[in-house]
Chain A
Amino acid sequence: MLLNQFLLLSAVLFCLGVYGVLARKNGMLVLMSVELILNAVNINLVAFGAFRADVGGSVFALFTIAVAAAEVGIGLAIVLLMYRNRRSIDLTQADLLKG
């Protein structure tokens, strides 16, 4: 089995996710990009688990999915509240903590 291809896929996905998080202004899209990053990590975990014939990698991936679900729940709630207060989910405008 070729581990490299999975790692490359994972790296590409991770970079796409990071780009999305850093570059998009829409809060929803940023959340979706975070999901991409998490999935890149999941691919890495499962790939290494299969490579070493160890079920532990898949188990960690399952945990990550569960944690990601919780994180998305909170993230969506924040975005929803932000929309209610500002009628906008543009992250560049949310700079009240500016130093």
Chain B
Amino acid sequence: MFPHLAAGAVSEVSTVTNEANWLLENAWLIALLPAISFVLILFFGKKMPFKGAEFGITAVSISFILAILTGAAWMDHRDNFTLDTYGEKAAVLVDDGTGSAVDNVTLAAGTAAEAAGGDGQAYVAVQKTTQWLQSGGVEFNAGIMVDGLSVMMLFVVTMISLLVHIYSTDYVGGDRRYTHFFAFLSLFTSSMLFFVLSDNILQMIVGWELVGVCSFALIGHWWEEKPNSDAALKAFITNRVGDVGLLVGMITLFFAAGKGMTFDTITINENILQGGVSHTALVVAAACLTIAVMSKSGQFVLHTWLPDAMAGPTPVSALIHAATMVVAGIYMVARLFPVFWEGMQIDGSSINFLATVGAVTLVGAGLLAFVQDDIKKVLAYSTVSQLGYMAMALGVGAWTAAVFHLFTHAFFKANLFLGSGSVAHAVHSFDMKKDMGGMRKFMPKTYVTFVIGSLALAGLFPLAGFWSKDEILVNTGGWGILGGSGSAPGSYTFHFVMGMIGAALTAAYMTRCVYLTFHGEYRGGHHDDHAEDHADDHGHHGEPHESGPRILYPLYILSAFSILVGFANLPPGFLTGSKKDPAGWQERFLHFIEPAGSSYFPAVGHATPSWWLAIVASLVAVAGAGAAFTYYFVKVDRLAQRTGEHLVGLPNGVTTTNALARAGHKLLVNKYYLDHLYTGIIAGGTKGPIAKAAYWVNQNVLDGTVDGAGRTAVQSGKLVYEKIDQGVVDGAINASGRTSDAIGEELRHINTGRVQNYAAIMFAGAAILAGAFVLLLAL
């Protein structure tokens, strides 16, 4: 009778449900367990045999298992979910009295499948919400939203966190705040899980800040040394700058897209995609949220905290850079993608703010990685650069590519960080030039895992980074000559070029890093009194040795993942499936993760992968690696062997002979002078001339006003005192006093003190009253 009603019901139900597999409905358990562990470690950690580590490892292990099961449940849900009750409702709605109910259900299901974009099955997110409080008609809810993106994040976070926990039992073993460290690891994990499960923007803000606080505490774990606590403060304060953007952006979204009524992420996304939300508001929200991403995910120009955050213990760096904290910004953009899609008009465009920030970061940070001596800082800038890839991918509309790169990057970056920690654990330093070199002889196992991680990061076929990076490049849609334009959202040629440059840089700086750390001759353990200090503690000067199993096994696992995870999203054409399942292994990630066809996600186009592009990108990466290889492995190595010196570069390299190169090198060493800008010009300026100006204004304008106001107050006070208080008020009071005095003086004569006089007056009074009473009655 009302077929349009049925269609409406189809599109609504096909997006969100609150009835699903038990695991999907109760995914909040995954976030709750580490939170419980945090409390247990705080109260009982020190009394336990393993100083609290057992709580953290147990909780995160259970969370990890639950996350895997939830992932499996999600895959089943994605492929097979049909809501029976929904089918019945549709049958009632479309029943026009002619067809049988069964046909109508089929019809309705068919409509749902069409709404899903012909992907067979509708993409139905699972949302469970409870009301927290209600005020002025606005509901403040707490809830979880489980879809492909959050399930993927659950898996990544719990897995990396578990490996970091195990690794930490060795790495920070014997530390004075060992228990405290594990408590915060648990809270950090829990906060990130809470953040990725949020179903409303308010909860996202809470999770975002929790992650920030935990990273502050962990970066400053060894706060006794000033640089460490400074780094923690820098991380926190730089993030506050972005948090302002986050708050403004979220508030704008609440009023513009949530109609001032709801914080619900899905509703906000739907409202934006259905149109009717002011474009100006979306532009503001998207720009503000991009600023939030710039601080949280370390994009230019607010990335400066991230390399400094290396002051924290290495496992924390791995956790921050792979699974938590920095990917929060990327996740937020992915979650609120319609805001950017509509606000920045990503579709059919060729440039926008987010993509450009990402592209600049990608190349700028890649260059910075060349001049770092600290192995962790190389990796830190590498993370900044890779996050630039992700932000750029989101900016050019390559949603799945960005999320996929987040996924693959988590594994090889965790691998690299934990590997660098393994080396540093052996030589008690992070300085590649002074204390490392030739480490492959001492630590062959760490060396292999580190090289695998580096190759994956550099994007060498067929390791993880190759697939995700190629997917980003192809989806920029730049230069159709390479076959990339297909149905990509836009044609971002500039970003495509930057991505290519970034690929070459990544391969080159990782080659440099591997050479300086693992090749050449060992430079540590002999040259300064630093080593002497440690000699007493450990009794093994000179010879570093391979790390123990609790450090190596996480490395093995992560290396295996670095090789394999790329196969999770093979482009069409690879490993074609059987007849029964033609899709085979192709684009499984896209299928399960991207909410294509759901009402809270825009219709994003996907570029056709191109063999040419893959080959060119690989050649570019190989060229970058080759250049660095020629420099370090061939020239420097030969020179070092000929002269017998420990060399970390050519004595007559291009930076010493060419003025332009020297200037560039200086610019990079000084990190583009951004720190000077922040601490010297902005903070220093605030302290210096601005402070003086403010002081002058304070003394002359503000104090003048205040003094004037004070003087006027005193004057008027005096006037009031003399005229009104003294004259009128006191006059009245004195007059009444004097009057009473005079009356009393007269009346005191009655007060004879004789009881009989009083009695006479009393009787007289009684007589008068009696007379008056009689008179009154008579009248």
Contact residues of A with B, CB < 8 Å? 18, 21-23, 30, 91-92, 94-99
CB of B582 within 8 Å of the partner chain: no
Q: Is the pair B756, A30 in contact by a Cβ cutoff of 8 Å? A: yes
Residues of B within 8 A of A91 (CB): 754-756
Closest to A37 in B: B763
Q: Is the pair B756, A95 in contact by a Cβ cutoff of 8 Å? A: no
Q: Is the pair B760, A97 in contact by a Cβ cutoff of 8 Å? A: no
Residues of A within 8 A of B752 (CB): 95, 98-99
Residues of A within 8 A of B538 (CB): none
In angstroms, how far is the closest chain A Cβ from the Cβ of B760?
A: 5
Q: Contact partner of A21 among B748, B753, B756, CB < 8 A?
A: B756
A sample of 23 cross-chain residue pairs with beta-carbon separation below 8 angstroms, ordered by A number, consists of A18-B763, A21-B759, A21-B763, A22-B756, A22-B759, A22-B763, A23-B756, A91-B754, A91-B755, A91-B756, A92-B756, A94-B753, A94-B754, A95-B752, A95-B753, A96-B753, A97-B751, A97-B753, A98-B754, A99-B748, A99-B750, A99-B751, A99-B753
Residues of B within 8 A of A21 (CB): 756, 759, 763
Chain B, range 701-755, C-beta contacts under 8 Å to A: 747-755
A-B contact count (CB 8 A): 35
Q: Contact partner of A98 among B751, B756, B760, CB < 8 A?
A: B751
Residues of A within 8 A of B763 (CB): 18, 21-22
Q: Is the pair A92, B750 in contact by a Cβ cutoff of 8 Å? A: no
Closest to A24 in B: B756
Docked pose: A91 CA to B754 CA in angstroms: 7
In angstroms, how far is the closest chain B Cβ from the Cβ of A12?
A: 16
Residues of A within 8 A of B760 (CB): 22
Shortest beta-carbon contacts, A-B, top 4: A99-B751, A98-B753, A95-B753, A99-B748
Docked pose: A23 CA to B747 CA in angstroms: 23
In angstroms, how far is the closest chain B Cβ from the Cβ of A96?
A: 6
Residues of B within 8 A of A92 (CB): 754, 756
Contact residues of B with A, CB < 8 Å? 747-756, 759-760, 763
In angstroms, how far is the closest chain A Cβ from the Cβ of B753?
A: 3
In angstroms, how far is the closest chain A Cβ from the Cβ of B255?
A: 79
Docked pose: A60 CA to B752 CA in angstroms: 35
Residues of A within 8 A of B750 (CB): 99
Docked pose: A24 CA to B63 CA in angstroms: 108
Q: Is the pair B749, A94 in contact by a Cβ cutoff of 8 Å? A: no
Closest to B745 in A: A99
Residues of B within 8 A of A97 (CB): 751, 753
Apart from A22-B759, A91-B754, A99-B748, 14 more pairs, CB < 8 Å: A21-B763, A22-B756, A30-B756, A91-B755, A91-B756, A92-B754, A94-B754, A95-B753, A96-B753, A97-B753, A99-B749, A99-B750, A99-B751, A99-B753
Docked pose: A97 CA to B754 CA in angstroms: 8
In angstroms, how far is the closest chain A Cβ from the Cβ of B744?
A: 8
Closest to B758 in A: A97
Docked pose: A22 CA to B762 CA in angstroms: 11
Closest to A97 in B: B753
Residues of A within 8 A of B754 (CB): 91-92, 94-95, 98
In angstroms, how far is the closest chain A Cβ from the Cβ of B414?
A: 101
Residues of A within 8 A of B755 (CB): 91, 94
Docked pose: A96 CA to B753 CA in angstroms: 6
In angstroms, how far is the closest chain A Cβ from the Cβ of B751?
A: 3
Docked pose: A21 CA to B758 CA in angstroms: 11
Docked pose: A99 CA to B755 CA in angstroms: 13
Closest to A95 in B: B753
Docked pose: A22 CA to B748 CA in angstroms: 20
Closest to A18 in B: B763
Docked pose: A92 CA to B763 CA in angstroms: 18
In angstroms, how far is the closest chain B Cβ from the Cβ of A23?
A: 8
Docked pose: A38 CA to B175 CA in angstroms: 101
Residues of A within 8 A of B759 (CB): 21-22
Docked pose: A20 CA to B763 CA in angstroms: 13
Residues of B within 8 A of A96 (CB): 753
Residues of A within 8 A of B751 (CB): 97-99
Docked pose: A22 CA to B755 CA in angstroms: 9
In angstroms, how far is the closest chain B Cβ from the Cβ of A92?
A: 6
In angstroms, how far is the closest chain B Cβ from the Cβ of A58?
A: 24
Residues of B within 8 A of A18 (CB): 763
Residues of B within 8 A of A30 (CB): 756
Docked pose: A92 CA to B748 CA in angstroms: 17
Closest to A99 in B: B751
Residues of B within 8 A of A95 (CB): 752-754
Docked pose: A18 CA to B761 CA in angstroms: 12
Residues of A within 8 A of B747 (CB): 99
In angstroms, how far is the closest chain B Cβ from the Cβ of A70?
A: 19
Docked pose: A21 CA to B766 CA in angstroms: 15
Closest to A33 in B: B759
Which of the listed residues A21, A92, A99 has the most CB atoms from chain B within 10 Å of its own CB? A99
In angstroms, how far is the closest chain B Cβ from the Cβ of A82?
A: 11
In angstroms, how far is the closest chain B Cβ from the Cβ of A19?
A: 10
Residues of B within 8 A of A22 (CB): 756, 759-760, 763
Which of the listed residues B750, B755, B760, B763 has the most CB atoms from chain A within 10 Å of its own CB? B755
Residues of B within 8 A of A23 (CB): 756
Residues of B within 8 A of A99 (CB): 747-753
Docked pose: A99 CA to B747 CA in angstroms: 9
Docked pose: A49 CA to B759 CA in angstroms: 29
Closest to B748 in A: A99
Docked pose: A98 CA to B758 CA in angstroms: 11
Docked pose: A96 CA to B754 CA in angstroms: 8
In angstroms, how far is the closest chain A Cβ from the Cβ of B197?
A: 85
In angstroms, how far is the closest chain A Cβ from the Cβ of B763?
A: 6
Docked pose: A96 CA to B751 CA in angstroms: 11
Docked pose: A23 CA to B755 CA in angstroms: 11
Closest to A93 in B: B754
Docked pose: A1 CA to B751 CA in angstroms: 46
Docked pose: A92 CA to B756 CA in angstroms: 8
Docked pose: A98 CA to B749 CA in angstroms: 8
Residues of A within 8 A of B756 (CB): 21-23, 30, 91-92
Residues of A within 8 A of B748 (CB): 99
Which of the listed residues A21, A30, A96 has the most CB atoms from chain B within 10 Å of its own CB? A21
Docked pose: A91 CA to B757 CA in angstroms: 10
Docked pose: A21 CA to B761 CA in angstroms: 12
Docked pose: A99 CA to B743 CA in angstroms: 13
In angstroms, how far is the closest chain B Cβ from the Cβ of A40?
A: 13
In angstroms, how far is the closest chain A Cβ from the Cβ of B740?
A: 14
Docked pose: A97 CA to B756 CA in angstroms: 13
Docked pose: A18 CA to B754 CA in angstroms: 16
Docked pose: A69 CA to B755 CA in angstroms: 21
Docked pose: A86 CA to B103 CA in angstroms: 124
Docked pose: A74 CA to B152 CA in angstroms: 99
Closest to A21 in B: B759
Docked pose: A94 CA to B755 CA in angstroms: 8
In angstroms, how far is the closest chain B Cβ from the Cβ of A83?
A: 15
In angstroms, how far is the closest chain A Cβ from the Cβ of B771?
A: 14
Residues of A within 8 A of B749 (CB): 99
In angstroms, how far is the closest chain B Cβ from the Cβ of A63?
A: 20
Residues of A within 8 A of B753 (CB): 94-99
Docked pose: A22 CA to B756 CA in angstroms: 5
In angstroms, how far is the closest chain B Cβ from the Cβ of A68?
A: 17
Docked pose: A94 CA to B756 CA in angstroms: 10
Closest to A30 in B: B756
